Amino acid sequence: MNSHRLLFTCFCMFLCLSLAAQNNGPANEKCGTMPYLQKKLQENAVLRSRFEQKKIEFNKTVSSRSVNNSARLNAIVYIPVVFHIVMANPALVTDAQIQAQLDTLNKDFFGANGDSVMIPSYFKSLFGKSNIQFCLAQRTPDGDATNGMNRVFTTKTNFNFDDAVKHSYSGGADSWNTSKYLNVWVCSLPSSLLGYATLPEDGTPAPEEGVVIDYRTLPGGSLNDFNKGKTLTHETGHYFNLYHIWADDNGGCVEDDFVDDTPKQAGSTSGCPSGVKTDNCTQAGNGVMYQNYMDYSDDPCLVMFTPGQVDRMETALSMYRTSLLSSNGCQPVILNNLDAQLRSVNQPSQRLCNTLFTPQVTVRNKGSQNLTSLQISTSIDNGPVTTYQWTGSLTTYNSIVVDLSNLTTTTGNHILTVYVSNPNSNTDQDRSNDTLQINFQYFAPMTIISEGFENNTFPPPGWDVINGDNALTWERVTGISKTGNASVRTNNYDYDHIGESDDLRMPSIKIAAGTDSAFLSFQVAAAAYSNLNTPGNNWDTLEVLISTDCGKTHTSMYKKWGPTLVTTNVAYSTEFFPTTSQWRKDSIDLASFIGSNDLIITFRNTTGFENNIFLDDINLRTVVVNPNLKAQGFLVTPNPTSGAIAVQFYPQPANLKGIQLFNDIGQKVAEITTGGGANTYYNFDLSRYAKGMYTVRAIFTDRVITKKIIKL
């Protein structure tokens, strides 16, 4: 998607124009489903082509089934619904409101809504009734009892149709299995948005499928004219593949909603009209169907689907959302007497710094009987089994954290398997939740690291990646590098979850006592999407952290963002791929960590939705100074010599003007001038000179020091 930001800008312009064109009603009389769809289709040409083809195929199927009277369900089916109430104060939405919303949804779909008396006589024959019904979920995906209401606290004041409400990492609530539940997120939306939904086959990732509505649209909500619960009916129509009744072509009268028994309509309706209403698309007859749930009329005026719309929704259920029909989400939970659930493996973490460790697990009692004893078994890489006998008292639906028997591992990547058995010395009646596996690694600390990511294995041995949101993260790329043929990058260009961090961790490090200096160096290449003078911008940030306690706590050693991070001052509106000249070598002094063991250095990317960051040639270098050099401060080696000599200083010499070489009769045979700067290391080659005694003179502004050497 090398122009996705331009498309996003165009989309925003499209949305503004679209909302301006629909100027028949107030600003908050809007559905975001079609702009949400258009955004995805504009960004992905392949998806757009595929979606259009699927739409054609679906329309043909609906038409064929309608002709053959096979589009309809033969009996009532129930779809489990979970309401995720994501608000700063979730208690503002009451259980009674949710129940009233579900009742409204069921009545509207089934054609049992009392306000159907408002359907005018000329449309009564077009009153559609669906066999799709909805229940509040009775069980969670884990099989726990629930009332179908998941209240989640958030610090966000409102959400938009960017799907942030659908993820805990962005302040929302993670979906329940969308193949088994209709997920409805209830939250605060901007005043211009009542709700939005995902259409079948629209490219939405499975965890984001469902419906989002503003909490004020619930029955009894505070949004006047839109507080009868009809927003959810409208958006659920989209969820089952219905389009707006005016087809979103803004009066063109060319597009339609693919339903034969809904009249053509120029644009959305506002308010609550009465009598026959015509427009330039339907200029005579019974006029437009402003009573239809897929219009924008006020809630009291929305009272009907048509048979054609019902055919379309029920066909969509059977073609695209059929897994909802086999869900057990509407079935109450019947507890087994004995059911111990292994809820999580808390330790070891992803990285170990010792071969000896203590596994830690969380066990939950999902049985009706009080849990008093349990066997918890562990195995590394399917090796020998170690069993821990737990005793205690754990009541239904309560959990306990248990530290197990110590285990010993070896160098490398491993799999730890943990399983529970014999609750109360009997058989566990649900074995499906007894076993968990986790990956972990142990590598002995290294003293030198030189990594250019040339090997195909990523992460390299001893390295690992922490990807908290399971989205874009550090990855190896080929054909882009400072040296060699590979490097690593984070794709902040496509990573729009602003503020999310991803860690690339180096192997454990040991900097031995007695080391004189230690440095971490690396090549970095980065660019921004935004102009570098943009005030208050969310910039991509690269930080280098060091931990002395195996990753539990960290100290920041390096942190750059925006103008201080980039290696080019040009703002890139396309993805940044650096040339060899667009890299910078940065270095970090690690002298304060000399003598430390099990150090972990982390490269942390925090995305600002800007552009790519690349790393290459990551090197840890330590220096141990010759003890004679440390003692004398000036050393010439080897002595005697048959050729080359090294002239060394410790520490870096101040005020050094030059170094001269004299033979045994006082002639100057060679000289090095420092030119105002000074290094700690210089070379002379005596191979072309005669055998004998020579003198090396180091000339400072305030003194001269000498060393005699013998040329063999």
> What's the pLDDT tens digit per position in 462-517?
999 999 888 899 999 999 999 999 999 999 998 867 788 999 999 999 998 888 88
pLDDT of residue 252: 83
Q: How many CB atoms lie within 10 A of CB 387?
A: 14
CA–CA separation, 635 vs 646, rounded Å? 8
Closest CA to 61 of 201, 175, 160, 193: 201
Residue 631's Cβ-side half-sphere holds a number of Cα atoms within 13 Å equal to 3
pLDDT at 453 over 50: yes
Three-class SS of residue 120?
A: coil
Quote the strand ranges of 142-265, DSSP E.
Answer: 149-153, 182-187, 195-197, 211-214
Average pLDDT over residues 291-298: 97
CB 430 within 8 A of CB 388: no
SS3 sequence, 302-350?
A: CCEECHHHHHHHHHHHHHCCHHHHHCCCCCCCCCCCCCEEEEEEEECCC
CB 24 within 8 A of CB 270: yes
Q: Which residues pair with 442 in a beta bridge?
A: 352, 412
Walk me through the domains of the chain, giving residue ranges and CATH numbers.
15-326 (3.40.390.10), 340-442 (2.60.40.10), 449-623 (2.60.120.200), 627-711 (2.60.40.3080)
pLDDT at 143 over 50: yes
Type and span of the H or E element at 503 = strand 501-505
pLDDT digits 0-9 by tens, 213-228? 999 999 999 999 999 9
CA–CA separation, 93 vs 151, rounded Å? 9
pLDDT digits 0-9 by tens, 184-215? 999 999 988 999 999 999 988 899 999 999 99
Q: How far is CA 219 from CA 40, 85, 112, 276, 430, in A?
A: 31, 15, 17, 28, 40
Mean pLDDT rounded to a whole number for the chain: 91
Q: Which residues pair with 491 in a beta bridge?
A: none
Q: Is 52 a catalytic residue?
A: no
343, two tokens: 């809820």
Q: Please identify which of the residues 29, 201, 235, 610 carries the catalytic annotation.
A: 235
pLDDT of residue 676: 67
CB 387 within 8 A of CB 375: yes
Q: pLDDT class for 374, splitting at 50, 70, 90?
A: very high
